[in-house]
Amino acid sequence: MNWCDWHTVTERLQGRYYALTRGRPYRVVLDPATHTRTCDFTNKHLLINPNLFSDVLENIGFSGAKLDEANFLVSRAITGHEALHVLYSCQRRWR
């Protein structure tokens, strides 16, 4: 099973999102088919490619569990970045 398919990973990223946005109703979706990452305001999803930097990480020597951990940390950082779009890029939607 791929690291991004573990339910605990999604739960942790969703919890981080809720903490940053004080519970705004968006869902974190890890989707390897996503080109990069995006904040989908219409469907209220944060779409994140969990392997976005895998090639870069592999080139500097990451593999196995260390690669999975690094990809998780990158996905966590991207979740934070996209959460801020929810807060500051769509203010009119919350009034």
pLDDT in tens, 19-47: 999 989 999 999 999 888 888 888 999 99
At residue 94, does pLDDT exceed 50?
Answer: no
Does residue 1 have a pLDDT over 80?
no
pTM, two decimal places: 0.86
Residue 40 confidence (pLDDT): 87
| Residues with Cβ within 8 Å of residue 61, at least 6 apart in sequence | none
Contact criterion met (CB below 8 Å) for 48 and 82: yes
- Looking at residue 15, its pLDDT comes to 95
